[in-house]
Structure 1
Amino acid sequence: MGLVSAMVLADAGIDVEVFERNATVMEDLRASTFHPPTLDMLAPYGISDVLVESGLKARFTQQRDRRKGLIAEFDLARLEGSTAYPFRLQCEQWKLNLELVKKLEQYPHAKVRFGCAVEAAGQDDTGVTLKVRTLDGLEEVRGDYLIGADGAWSTVRRSLGIEFEGYTYPERFLVVSTEFPFEDQFENLSWVNYISDPEEWCVMLKVPSLWRVLFPTAEQESDERVLSDEFIEARLQGLLPRPERYEVVHRTLYKVHQRVASRFRLGRVMLAGDAAHINNPLGGMGMNGGVHDAFNLTAKLIDVIEGRAPDSLLDQYERQRRTVAIEYINANTARNKQLIEERDEAVRDRIHAELRATAADPQASMAYIRKTSMFDALERARSIA
């Protein structure tokens, strides 16, 4: 979440420099869901409406079952009045990154340096030091503070010796993207669907030009087999049999973790986003939680830099966001996976009955929507002194 942090700091008049390993913004197909409060945060900077124009408004989310069909549907339009964006926005994260780079180009005191890989980070009483690998060789850079938002394999986190506590799932997640119009084949299919099954659960998400289907894979299957045309075709045919073969536009396979850094702040260095916490994608809380980290942290950092608050205010960032990462983001995504893959039929029946009852009860439904849209997590963070 380095670009989000840089934008907020630059908008406050603070000099910022961003180091990006890749040569340009990567158009990858991982995160694709923006929750309402995330859009509310980005809106004052002119970014949310741009994203809405290029994304899909998912008013409904659905809990489905492969054998039983639709179990429960939740209408985010019920959030009207508490947010300017009462829907999930289905839009690829790289589009956000492109807008952030454009925004940063407008600030003369902000710099985004592509093709710069951070190889080490250190600090002393007066500032932080980065060793950065560029095309011209190794360069040393100094700054007052450092936000390590360099992903799950964070060099910054490892340089400081901060533990990344948690576990890795034995199975990997396979994401297959296709232009096939599933909405024409499944009755009343929403743009966001969590589909339970004791043998092979899946998630179906629509982005503007593609359907993305996420499948778990068996631990013993090789990467080559899982990514093969035959294997992927069989998975898609199992989801929706058809005489023709599916045209696959993109495929990716990755390991999934539930981990939280033991520290979010160490001296002049703070961690945010995947460098601080990672989780499975069931619920779309990873990227959104990272954006929430960035806004929480930068608000405090601005007050410290401008002399309105003591340096100790940054400890509150760790207390607030680390608590939320553990209690809400990691806990809820882990539970989402547990529920969707449940094998015991009696337990599955109970889960489905509870979901139907929740959807049918206005008060319970609103509580469910607020929790899954991450409003509750933000409230919890604000409650921590």
Structure 2
Amino acid sequence: MTPVLVAGAGPVGLTAALALARRGVAVTVLEAGDALAAESRASTFHPPSLEMLGGLGVLDELMERGRISRAFQYRERSGAVIAELDMSLLSGDTPYPFRVQCEQGKLTPILLEHLLKAGGEVRFGARVRDVLPHAGGVQVTAADGAVHRGGWLIGADGAGSAVRRSTGLEFEGLTYPERFLVASTRTDVAALLPGIADVNYVFDPEEWLVLLRTPDHWRVLFPTAEGTPDRDELDRLPDRLRGLADTAWDVAHASLYRVHQRAADRFRVGRVLLAGDAAHVNNPLGGMGMNSGLHDAVLMADALAGVLDGGPESELDAVAAARRDVALTYVGRETHANWEQMRDPERYHAELRALAADPAAARRHLLRSSMIASLRDVA
């Protein structure tokens, strides 16, 4: 019986597995797909995530593939800058006073390579169908009928988590009225909009948007009305992009998806732990979803390794409860506030300008937006 099974070979599952392997724990990852997922919605890494990935020995490789972003902007749809916040104000709080922009699909191969070198195992084509906890561990049945047994199970198998469903936990919350449309473009947005930062939140009561740069593309996120056919919305994407800059945009990829704010009742049920989207989901404004999942992974893996070393399970309970608290009172609250802010620009313009002009206030804001506060407050 493997000491720990992990469901899901996304960034959260592989991070949890590597954190365990670094502590000398035997771990097997069960991944539904036949290979690592190529889709990359998340692309922002905040300072605490960089610190954790550094501790796992994978940060240098991520930074080689990523783009360091030292400031972000709040902008008007007309192109005017409302405020720019410089993350160097966090130099006394973290060794990484910046964001790294890099698609999550570039991190997972790095994690996989290090996990295999550390003695971990990954089984592809092993979609979890159901989970049967028992006093001595957990039995996982895959879609192909194969049975996997472990002492513990970490469910990191996404928002539709089969692990969570098998525990009977509720996944309560809300679904946003609009869908989000994300387009990746090879068009040089910096040339079209001189002075633009790598990360930009563009306010407008009718059609707010987010513009951010990754190593290979610029990504544009639009809100999209409920009830219209996806095909119609994708067809009108060129016109929406020309509303930003009147040019022929080179779109590499575009997709529509629904956005939710939800959290499981608990993040631990007996020998089963939940992390990342399996435990909680939120809107992407602020780039907190994947990052909070990475924090779940490292903190829960460390606590679980402590239990396997003979420590009290109360420490694991405390970490699971704290991560749920962060998901509800920090990540959920901050990302929902970001959504409200984008839709009501007049209310926040003066506040943001005052924030940018006050280094102490800006630092406090950056501690929250960078997620440093989410870990300090709980600690």
Indicate how the Cα distance of structure 1 residues 44 and 318 shifts in structure 2: closer, same or farther if over 3 A, else same: closer
Distance 1:227 1:126 in 2: 51
8 Å CA contact 2:79, 2:193 repeated in 1: no
Distance 2:192 2:164 in 1: 46
Match of 1:293 among 273, 293, 296: 296
Aligned residue identity for 1:349: E
Distance 2:31 2:79 in 1: 46
Aligned residue identity for 1:145: W
Pairing 1:275–2:275 present:
no
Aligned residue pairs, count: 368
Percent identity over paired residues: 48
Aligned residue identity for 1:90: Q
Distance 2:249 2:52 in 1: 39
Which residue in 1 is equivalent to 2:172?
A: 165
Distance 1:64 1:333 in 2: 18
Which residue in 1 is equivalent to 2:359?
A: 362
Distance 1:68 1:203 in 2: 13
Superposed displacement of residue 75, structure 1: 0.5
**Unpaired segments ≥5 residues, structure 1:** 343-347
Which residue in 2 is equivalent to 1:234?
A: 239
Distance 2:346 2:99 in 1: 28
Aligned residue identity for 1:98: P
- The superposition leaves residues 75-105 of structure 1 with CA deviations (integer Å, 9 ceiling, x where unpaired) of 0112223222111100011111111100011
8 Å CA contact 1:324, 1:380 repeated in 2: no
Pairing 1:121–2:118 present:
no
8 Å CA contact 1:34, 1:88 repeated in 2: yes
Superposed displacement of residue 29, structure 1: 2.6
Aligned residue identity for 1:357: A
Which residue in 1 is equivalent to 2:109?
A: 98
Distance 1:333 1:174 in 2: 17
Superposed displacement of residue 44, structure 1: 2.3
Aligned residue identity for 1:194: Y
Aligned residue identity for 1:18: V
Which residue in 2 is equivalent to 1:62?
A: 73
Normalising to structure 1: TM-score of the pair?
A: 0.94
Match of 1:178 among 164, 185, 188: 185
Distance 1:258 1:45 in 2: 29
Distance 2:287 2:136 in 1: 38
Distance 2:175 2:66 in 1: 31
Superposed displacement of residue 381, structure 1: 2.0
Superposed displacement of residue 220, structure 1: 2.5
8 Å CA contact 2:180, 2:258 repeated in 1: yes
Distance 2:62 2:349 in 1: 34
Pairing 1:336–2:335 present:
no
- The superposition leaves residues 226-281 of structure 1 with CA deviations (integer Å, 9 ceiling, x where unpaired) of 122xx010110111123xx2221001111100001111111110100000100000
8 Å CA contact 2:210, 2:221 repeated in 1: yes
Superposed displacement of residue 299, structure 1: 1.3
8 Å CA contact 2:190, 2:196 repeated in 1: yes
Aligned residue identity for 2:365: Y
| Aligned-partner SS, 1:105 | helix
Which residue in 2 is equivalent to 1:316?
A: 318
Pairing 1:211–2:213 present:
no
Distance 1:4 1:90 in 2: 18
Which residue in 1 is equivalent to 2:327?
A: 325
Distance 2:312 2:55 in 1: 27
Aligned residue identity for 1:41: M
Distance 2:37 2:305 in 1: 29
Match of 2:194 among 173, 187, 191: 187
**Unpaired segments ≥5 residues, structure 2:** 1-11
Aligned residue identity for 2:278: A
Superposed displacement of residue 68, structure 1: 5.8
Normalising to structure 2: TM-score of the pair?
A: 0.95
Which residue in 1 is equivalent to 2:375?
A: 378
Pairing 1:221–2:228 present:
yes
Pairing 1:107–2:114 present:
no
| Aligned-partner SS, 2:338 | helix
Superposed displacement of residue 69, structure 1: 1.3
